[in-house]
């Protein structure tokens, strides 16, 4: 599928070493890369539909210090959508109150009809982008009914409700940023890890350093991070995703179709 990464801290830190290790995993995730930094409340995003280790643009970026309080990265193994730039993560969108949202996803939505209405609204053609558009609509609906901006706790509760429902029968390892808080969720065992130290919070699909402090992200819970600390933690739901032979077959068939297109070109 994909691998995802985020860094959350109270002060800007340089994280080139972790990013270089992360992007070196692209041999098994060759269908694109993305990098997002939050600077002055704006997202600075670079992404390409090419293998990260083959990207001269990414090499140029990593040849300079990558510094930030909130940094997100993604390498893609396509299971839904073409290998094109609009399908590379992260995805970003504004809500009706001009709040910027960002999402990266590791997983596949096999069954969630509520996302179907976004097929014609998204720029690319991935289930991940549709997840973000759905979340934005729900936030807009909530704040319209409330008549004012939501609090960070209200948004956390709203996203938790959405993700609990979405995670039934689907793999939804998610990292989301709403301008104030980073949301982390995993519902597949041994597929997301974190390291908490003096630098801040590192979260990635696999441990990126030799530090013995890496631990699995607690399964089936949503976490809210601000300034390198867990601010909110949801109750545990029961929607653990277990990859079946049927899932694997669907993914293999999609990858074969991509390879066939590449060979035809």
> Could you tell me the residue range of the domain that residue 68 belongs to?
2-264
Distance CA 89, CA 131 (A): 12
pLDDT of residue 252: 79
Query: Percentage of residues in the chain with pLDDT exceeding 90?
Result: 85
pLDDT of residue 260: 56
Rg, C-alpha atoms of the chain:
18
Mean pLDDT (the chain) is 93
Q: Residue 258's pLDDT band (boundaries 50, 70, 90)?
A: low
Q: Residue 245's pLDDT band (boundaries 50, 70, 90)?
A: confident
Residue 220: pLDDT above 60?
yes
| Residues paired with residue 216 on neighbouring β-strands, in sequence order | 193
Angle, helix 152-166 to helix 127-146, in steps of 10 degrees = 140
Q: Give the lowest-confidence range in 3-7, 214-218, 234-238, 242-246.
A: 242-246
pLDDT of residue 203: 98
pLDDT of residue 87: 95
37-59 mean pLDDT: 93
pLDDT tens, 54-98?
999 999 999 999 999 999 999 998 888 899 999 999 999 999 999
Residue 263: pLDDT above 70?
no
pLDDT tens, 167-204?
999 999 999 999 999 999 999 999 999 999 988 999 99
Residue 64: which CATH number?
A: 3.60.20.10
pLDDT tens, 198-212?
889 999 999 999 999
pLDDT of residue 40: 74
Distance CA 126, CA 138 (A): 19
pLDDT of residue 259: 60
Distance CA 105, CA 131 (A): 9
Dihedral sign (CA 102, 108, 114, 115): positive
| Residues paired with residue 53 on neighbouring β-strands, in sequence order | none
Give the chain's domain count: 1
pLDDT tens, 146-172?
999 999 999 999 999 999 999 999 999
- pLDDT higher at 204 or 265: 204
Q: Residue 36's pLDDT band (boundaries 50, 70, 90)?
A: very high
31-54 mean pLDDT: 93
- Reported as type and span, the H/E element at residue 246 is helix 245-264
pLDDT of residue 250: 76
């Amino acid at each position: 599928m994909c691998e995802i990464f985020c860094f959350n801290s109270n002060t800007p830190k340089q994280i080139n070493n972790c990013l270089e290790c992360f992007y070196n995993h692209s041999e098994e995730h060759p269908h694109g890369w993305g990098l997002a930094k939050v600077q002055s409340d704006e997202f600075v995003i670079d992404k390409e539909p090419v293998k990260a280790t083959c990207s001269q643009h990414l090499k140029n970026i990593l040849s300079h210090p990558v510094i930030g309080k909130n940094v997100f990265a993604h390498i893609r193994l396509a299971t839904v959508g073409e290998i094109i730039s609009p399908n590379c993560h992260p995805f970003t969108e504004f809500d009706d109150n001009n709040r910027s949202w960002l999402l990266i996803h590791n997983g596949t939505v096999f069954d969630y009809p509520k996302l179907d209405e976004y097929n014609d609204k998204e720029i690319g053609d991935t289930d991940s982008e549709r997840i973000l558009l759905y979340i934005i609509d729900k936030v807009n609906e909530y704040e319209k009914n409330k008549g004012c901006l939501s609090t960070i706790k209200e948004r956390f509760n709203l996203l938790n409700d959405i993700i609990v429902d979405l995670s039934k029968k689907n793999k939804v390892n998610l990292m989301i940023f709403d301008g104030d808080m980073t949301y982390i969720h995993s519902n597949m065992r041994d597929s997301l890890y974190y390291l908490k130290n003096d630098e801040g919070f590192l979260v990635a699909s696999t441990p990126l350093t030799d530090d013995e402090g890496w631990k699995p992200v607690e399964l089936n819970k949503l976490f809210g991070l601000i300034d390198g600390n867990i601010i909110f933690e949801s109750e545990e739901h029961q929607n653990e995703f277990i990859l079946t032979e049927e899932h694997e077959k669907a993914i293999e068939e999609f990858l074969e179709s991509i390879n066939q297109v590449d060979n035809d070109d």
